[in-house]
Amino acid sequence: MSAPALAPLLAALGALASHWRRRPGQLAALLGGLAAATALWSGIQALNAHARASYDAAARELGGGARLVAAAPGATIDEGVFAALRRAGWSVSPVVEGAVRANGATLRVIGIDPVSAPAGLAPGVFGGGSGDDGGDAGDGGDGGAPGGGHGSRAPGEGDAARDLAAFITPPGLALAAPETLAALGLSPGARPRAQGGRPLPPVRPAAGAPPGALVMDVGMAQAALGLEGRLSALALAGPVPPAAADLPARLGLSMREAPAGADLARLTASFHMNLDAFALLAFLVGLFIARAAAGLAFEQRRPLLRTMRACGLAASTAAWALAIEALGAALVAGLAGLAGGRALARALLPDLAESLNALYGAQLGAELAPGPAWWAGGLAMSCAGALAAALGGVWSAARMPALDSARPTAWRRAQRRRTRLQLAGAAGAGLAGAAAFGALGGLAGGFALLAGAMLSAALALPAALDLALALAERAARRLGALAHWAAADARQQLPGLALALMALLLALGANIGVGAMTEGFRRTFEDWLEQRLTAELYVRAGDPAEADALAAWLAARPEAAAVLRESEARLRIGGWPVALRGAPDHPTYRERWPLLSAEPGARDAIAAGRGAAASEQLARRLGLGLGDELSVPTPRGPWRLRIVALFADYGAAEGKLRVNDAAMAAHFPAADRTRMAVRADPAAVPALAAAVAAHGPGAPQVIDRAALKARSLRIFERTFAVTAALNALTFAVAGAALFAALATLARARLAQSAPVWAMGAPRRALVRLDLAKTVALALGTSALAVPLGVATTWILVAVVNVEAFGWRLPMHVFPGQWLRLAALAGLTAAAASLAASRALSRTPPATLAKVFADER
């Protein structure tokens, strides 16, 4: 298609535009569909980009560009190693990193040594704190070459020097981004307590601190994390000494560029891909509206195009004009959609932030500021959508002969051809999805399978409805002429409504699929929590000494039937963060702890310190199965454990290994032993909880199972809040699609209804029949959405969830939900049909009769 001359192009554009002036509703459907598609897509993109930017900020914090010396994955480094490297001439600085729960949120604790830390490690932390426009502190850049050339960074003179002193001398300082402090409800100087009751240093706002992190002196961080004497990594602050270049390797250490903060991006990748998939689905549903409107507009403008062709307009110019028109619509709708997308992202951000924090301990910044790439990407999506919607028209216009016949289309033959094509497409889409699933596997394969199933079902829908209507037509013959006509007419109406019904099918299928998955998850999760929370009371003491005293005190209380002390150590295995939990061998666990699967004698193997129970997600990540051996790095050397059981650990991002408490103490002398679970008579729990909370001096944290359960369920609800919102929006868009399709068809429908009216069918009967037809089509679509929804649930439960979260749920179906959704679809259709058939009931008889007049 070569570029056309300007004058004919402008003339064609003007003539084409006149159509929209007469059909504002159609224009609204086209623009609205594109805008809705763009809004849903770009809103999710804004959220994902925002989350990724927050992870990047967190990752940059721990040495963007700074090289780290780290232990084998999963292990920590002894402080002695640090000293040995320093002695050998290595310019390294200690780093401790971990997570604590404080004030209801998970925070990253980053411990650095401010004197020896290289520039780029914790950049900007000393810069903007408490009105201090501090010295030569890093500027939050990407941590390039250190400015002073001395390889280490000192926080300037004056105030900055006092800051440094305050930072390193007890109680120290915990520097945090202002929005993190605001989110936690902390004012400067406050001393939050970590969940175990360990006090953290007083907080101070520092503009350069990454969201969700507390930056403190390495010694304070060790205390806060229970990692006394251990380091997470060593940051390289100067050149490698040639003479001792191989020392780290001899010590079992390795150089690593990627910071530990990259874990977040890795852990959450699947979560975001999940959102991307839903955004794409929503985009497609919106596109159906645009496509329906563009297709109808093209058919209605066919005579106009024919006339222009006869007047000498080149086919390529006509095609160009249609394409330019589509791009114009894309720009207008795209900008509106982007504005909507930003509003949508703002509305969904709090839920997303809370569920990401609960699931992964990630902390998102509060301000959503989509950049130019986002605007450009959204407009590009809108343009791509508009072109996809207009493609059929552009193609036909480019090939339209100057003498296009004005013969009315033979709808039956056209329909048969279209049905064959659609069925072939349905088979192709299904096969392609299955093939992609086989070839790709994993999350991408799961989504390919899902997309294939959805596309296949959508394409098969018209044929299936046509078949159902053909049967109905036969049956309705006995019910009388009108019923028979209505069924036959619905078949003819089908192509005009097909796109809207496909959109409805997709929305219903997604709703059924996601709804059943969520509801099934909720039930599984509740049951699991019920069993999993074995003890009546959970206590965490402030420090080990206090924990020992508290345990002794509790053991002496008659209402406490058992005190089960648990220990915890955090390490990395295979690059993944893992919490190793030790628990005593007690009937409480033997009887009540739910296992997904276990070897015979699993409990005994665990009690003997030979076996471990692995959480489902850890086993999946590391590719572990029952009977596999695992080497756990410990301060006392590797600990060989056999995986003897697997347990579900819904909602946890981190992998967990459960072992015997005594065996754990032998391997991890410094493990955190501040937690305990208390079995007690339920009636005595409130009084006991109050007594524990008052037990001095460290004010232990106490939570009973009911409160713990409520908190867990709330996190659960938040996790699916975004999906649920997207689902509801998609359904609304599908309803709008149906409405737009019926409204634009209403005029054409008159020509079908008028002869029937002329032969003596009252108008009211015709309006009722129209209503019945539309509702029946919506209900038929709902019926077909059920198998699609069940397939969707299966793919979500068996493939996507497993990949995205690491756990597999039992599959549930909820017929009540199907009925609710079908009723909703029927009501939507009824509302749309009534609005559209106002055309029929309001048209003056003279206009209706005109259908028969010769001048038509």
Partner 1 sequence: MLSVTDLRKTYPAPDRPVEALRGASLEIGAGEAVALTGESGSGKSTLLHIIAGLDEADSGSVRVDGREMSGLRDGARARLRRARIGLVFQQLNLIPSLNVWDNLTFQARLAGREDRAFARALLGRLRLEGLERRYPEELSGGQQQRVAIGRALAHRPALVLADEPTGSLDEAAADRALDLLLELTRDAGAALLMATHSLRLAARLDRRLHLSGGVLREAACGGAGRAAGMSAAGGGG
Ligand X SMILES: Nc1ncnc2c1ncn2[C@@H]1O[C@H](COP(=O)(O)OP(=O)(O)O)[C@@H](O)[C@H]1O
To Mg ion, the closest distance from the beta carbon of 852 in angstroms equals 9
User: What is the rounded CA–CA span in Å between residue 721 and residue 514?
Assistant: 12
Q: By C-beta, is 6 or 853 nearer to ligand X?
A: 853
Q: Looking at 52-60, 315-323, 362-370, 410-418, which segment touches partner 1 (CB under 8 A)?
A: 410-418
When binding is defined by CB under 8 A, the residue of 482, 691, 772, 834 that contacts partner 1 is: 482
Q: Which does 413 bind (CB under 5 to 8 A by kind): partner 1, ligand X, Mg ion, none?
A: partner 1
Helix (H) or strand (E) run with residue 256 in it: strand 254-256
When binding is defined by CB under 8 A, the residue of 18, 187, 307, 492 that contacts partner 1 is: 492
Q: By C-beta, is 7 or 846 nearer to ligand X?
A: 846
Residues in the chain: 856
Binding mask 73-112 for ligand X (x = CB under 6 A): ----------------------------------------
- Does residue 410 interact with partner 1 by CB under 8 A? yes
To Mg ion, the closest distance from the beta carbon of 750 in angstroms equals 19
Write out the binding residues for ligand X, residues 196-235 only, by CB under 6 A.
none
Cβ proximity of 253 and 7 under 8 Å:
no
User: What is the rounded CA–CA span in Å between residue 343 and residue 97?
Assistant: 36
Q: How many CB atoms lie within 10 A of CB 463?
A: 18
- Does residue 556 interact with ligand X by CB under 6 A? no
Helix (H) or strand (E) run with residue 415 in it: helix 411-440
User: What is the rounded CA–CA span in Å between residue 237 and residue 82?
Assistant: 13
Q: By C-beta, is 484 or 812 nearer to partner 1?
A: 484
Q: Looking at 276-284, 662-670, 804-812, 846-854, which segment touches ligand X (CB under 6 A)?
A: 846-854
To Mg ion, the closest distance from the beta carbon of 856 in angstroms equals 10
Instruction: Please give the size of the binding site for partner 1, defined by CB under 8 A.
Output: 35
**Vertex 396 angle, CA 394 and 400, to 5°:** 120
When binding is defined by CB under 8 A, the residue of 221, 754, 809, 821 that contacts partner 1 is: 754
- Cis peptide bond upstream of 171, omega within 30: yes
Q: Looking at 147-155, 170-178, 540-548, 843-851, which segment touches partner 1 (CB under 8 A)?
A: 843-851
When binding is defined by CB under 8 A, the residue of 166, 207, 335, 761 that contacts partner 1 is: 761
Q: By C-beta, is 642 or 850 nearer to ligand X?
A: 850
**Vertex 506 angle, CA 500 and 507, to 5°:** 90
Q: Looking at 133-141, 183-191, 480-488, 820-828, which segment touches partner 1 (CB under 8 A)?
A: 480-488
- How many distinct helices (H) and strands (E) make up the chain? 25, 20
Q: Which does 667 bind (CB under 5 to 8 A by kind): partner 1, Mg ion, ligand X, none?
A: none
When binding is defined by CB under 6 A, the residue of 405, 556, 846, 856 that contacts ligand X is: 846
When CB distances to ligand X are compared, the closest residue is 846
Q: Is 376 exposed, middle or buried (0-12, 13-18, 19+ CB in 10 A)?
A: exposed
Which DSSP string corresponds to 33-56? HHHHHHHHHHHHHHHHHHHHHHHH
Cβ proximity of 131 and 106 under 8 Å:
no
Q: Residue 212's closest CA among 346, 97, 63, 77?
A: 97
- Does residue 842 interact with ligand X by CB under 6 A? no
Which DSSP string corresponds to 420-436? HHHHHHHHHHHHHHHHH
Q: How many CA within 13 A on the CB side of residue 541?
A: 26
To Mg ion, the closest distance from the beta carbon of 853 in angstroms equals 5
Q: By C-beta, is 480 or 669 nearer to partner 1?
A: 480
Q: By C-beta, is 169 or 841 nearer to ligand X?
A: 841
User: What is the rounded CA–CA span in Å between residue 354 and residue 162?
Assistant: 36
Write out the binding residues for Mg ion, residues 816-855 only, by CB under 5 A.
854
To ligand X, the closest distance from the beta carbon of 849 in angstroms equals 8
- Does residue 856 interact with partner 1 by CB under 8 A? yes
When binding is defined by CB under 6 A, the residue of 501, 850, 851, 856 that contacts ligand X is: 850
- Does residue 302 interact with partner 1 by CB under 8 A? no
Write out the binding residues for ligand X, residues 637-656 only, by CB under 6 A.
none
Which DSSP string corresponds to 674-687? EEEEEEE-GGGHHH
Q: By C-beta, is 5 or 846 nearer to ligand X?
A: 846
Cβ proximity of 120 and 144 under 8 Å:
yes
User: What is the rounded CA–CA span in Å between residue 524 and residue 529?
Assistant: 8
To partner 1, the closest distance from the beta carbon of 840 in angstroms equals 11
Q: Residue 720's closest CA among 577, 553, 514, 555?
A: 514
- Does residue 764 interact with partner 1 by CB under 8 A? yes
User: What is the rounded CA–CA span in Å between residue 784 and residue 506?
Assistant: 10
Instruction: Please give the size of the binding site for Mg ion, defined by CB under 5 A.
Output: 1
To ligand X, the closest distance from the beta carbon of 854 in angstroms equals 7
To ligand X, the closest distance from the beta carbon of 846 in angstroms equals 4
Q: Residue 109's closest CA among 263, 202, 217?
A: 217
3-state secondary structure at position 419? helix
Q: Looking at 255-263, 685-693, 749-757, 773-781, which segment touches partner 1 (CB under 8 A)?
A: 749-757
Cβ proximity of 805 and 617 under 8 Å:
yes
Structure tokens at 295: 């297709």
To ligand X, the closest distance from the beta carbon of 836 in angstroms equals 22
Q: Residue 78's closest CA among 276, 267, 227, 292?
A: 227
String of b and e for 601-638 (b: at least 16 CB within 10 Å)? Answer: ebbebbbebebbbbbbbbbbbbebebeeebebbbeeee
User: What is the rounded CA–CA span in Å between residue 489 and residue 796?
Assistant: 38
- Does residue 403 interact with ligand X by CB under 6 A? no
- Does residue 484 interact with partner 1 by CB under 8 A? yes
Q: By C-beta, is 834 or 848 nearer to ligand X?
A: 848
Q: Which does 488 bind (CB under 5 to 8 A by kind): ligand X, partner 1, Mg ion, none?
A: partner 1
- Does residue 6 interact with ligand X by CB under 6 A? no
Q: By C-beta, is 86 or 850 nearer to ligand X?
A: 850
- Binding-site ranges for partner 1 (CB under 8 A): 408, 410-413, 480-482, 484-485, 488-489, 491-492, 752, 754-764, 845-846, 848-849, 851-854, 856
- Binding-site ranges for Mg ion (CB under 5 A): 854
- Binding-site ranges for ligand X (CB under 6 A): 846, 850, 853
